[in-house]
Amino acid sequence: MSNPDTPDVIVVGGGIGGLGAAYSLSRKGLRVRVLEQAPAFGEVGAGIQLAPNCTRILDTYGLLDEATSLGVVPEAMVMRDAVDGVELTRLDLRDLEARYGYPYLVIHRSDLHGLLLRACERAGVELVTDARISSYENTDAGARVTLASGETEEAAVVIAADGLHSVARQLFADDEPVSSAYVAYRGTVPAEHPRVGGVDLSEVVVYVGPACHFVHYGLRGGELLNQVAVFESPKALAGEEDWGTPDELDEAFAATCDFVQGGLPHMWRDKWWRMFDREPLMTWVHDRIALLGDSAHAPLQYIAQGAIMALEDGWVLGEHVARRRTADGVVDWDAALADYQAVRPEHCRRVVTTSRQWGELWHLVGVAREQRNALLRARDTYDYAFVDWLYGPTALFPTDEPAMFEPIPLDAAQVVAV
């Protein structure tokens, strides 16, 4: 007989991915314990975009209505040139919802985290704070983690959702986070502020510029304007340690249009986020220890799939656990983890590599920028060729994974000389 104090699953990390996995597994009747290193559960940052491949999962969890009430369901996604402000292309997000069956939603990260935390509490997930993990190891009966305090915790399976600087990843790869040399500044502005006057809060807008971009959209039912400014740091390229500073922010956007420059004073200028990702990792499972979220596939942000991939990981794992569970409640963990391993690494490899390519596309200069703009202007609003592989139902098996899009070469553009 199993010890009633021993969980079926330990999830290391209480971020969006960890809580999503904990909730997914608890819904399947498993006893789950989450170990979070911080003294309290919480999230930092501002807005996050949730495409239909994520809102579909939230709906499955019974959480979409709550998420929608906390966020904004925008009407359109618009791409503009950051230098002259001219519209390049757009997605009709209401048509997109009709195509994929679920909405595109923007929400504050802390609101998404909070609703997942409340869902875990309702489901009986054991939530533990001040639990910093120093090592992972497999055992005859499952897996074990050792805390910085020297205490140990054991379960049939350990899910390492321990982020970009994952300790568990060291079991799989001898690598480090990869710096993109880009840095993000964030900030929110109350809707009644003059800055927001004339801004359509029903649009998600990205201004793409030479080695920089600027994003804005509404949050919390339109109470806030969320803004993000991202740029390539010359100091980072020069190998300096103090990079991404406010003087670089101002310089990077000096040639952009008035609207973009007008947003810079409203950024949180005392805090910035350096942009890192990880090289794709194709093995995530080591006996009874499995990676999930950024520990496995930290991406750059350009196609807004980082948190979504983590939530997909947890949903896929939960579905395979249910398939591999016998009538008397025993899970064939080796089979369930093999199923998870078979489908998720390749999908996330595609997302990580495409995110890098999208970042390059957004930040082009010179003739290449003009070619990109011409291709975007020629795109039909209702052309979904570049997102069908991403926004459809999350694959449970490799054969469910849709084909990737075919890139259009820049030199296919018809650039009109001025």
Residues forming a β-bridge with 209: 212
Please check whether residue 319 is in contact with residue 337, taking contact to mean a CB–CB distance below 8 angstroms: no
Residue 202 sits at φ, ψ, to 5 deg, of: -90, 5
**CB neighbours of 371 closer than 8 A, spacing ≥ 6?**
364, 410, 411, 413, 415
Rg, Å, the chain Cα set? 22
Instruction: State both tokens at 166.
Output: 């994952």
Residue 194 sits at φ, ψ, to 5 deg, of: -55, -30
C-alpha 244, offset from chain centre: 22
Instruction: State both tokens at 234.
Output: 């010359």
C-alpha 217, offset from chain centre: 17
- 3-class state of residue 287 by DSSP: coil
Q: Any alpha helices (H) in 379-415, and if so which ranges? A: 388-391
Strand duo 126-128 + 32-35: pairing: parallel
Instruction: State both tokens at 368.
Output: 């290449």
* Number of neighbours of residue 321 by Cβ within 10 angstroms: 26
What's the CA gap between 279 and 177, in Å, rounded? 8
The catalytic site residues sit at: 217
137-146 contacts: CB < 8 A, separation 24 or more? 137/289, 138/286, 138/287, 138/288, 138/289, 139/288, 142/288, 142/333, 143/10, 143/287, 143/288, 143/289, 145/10, 145/12, 145/35
Strand duo 87-92 + 178-190: pairing: unpaired
Instruction: State both tokens at 362.
Output: 């957004």
- At residue 371's C-alpha, the angle toward residues 235 and 49, to 5°, is 65
DSSP 82-98: TTT--EEEEEEHHHHHH
C-alpha 188, offset from chain centre: 19
Q: How many residues does the chain have?
A: 418
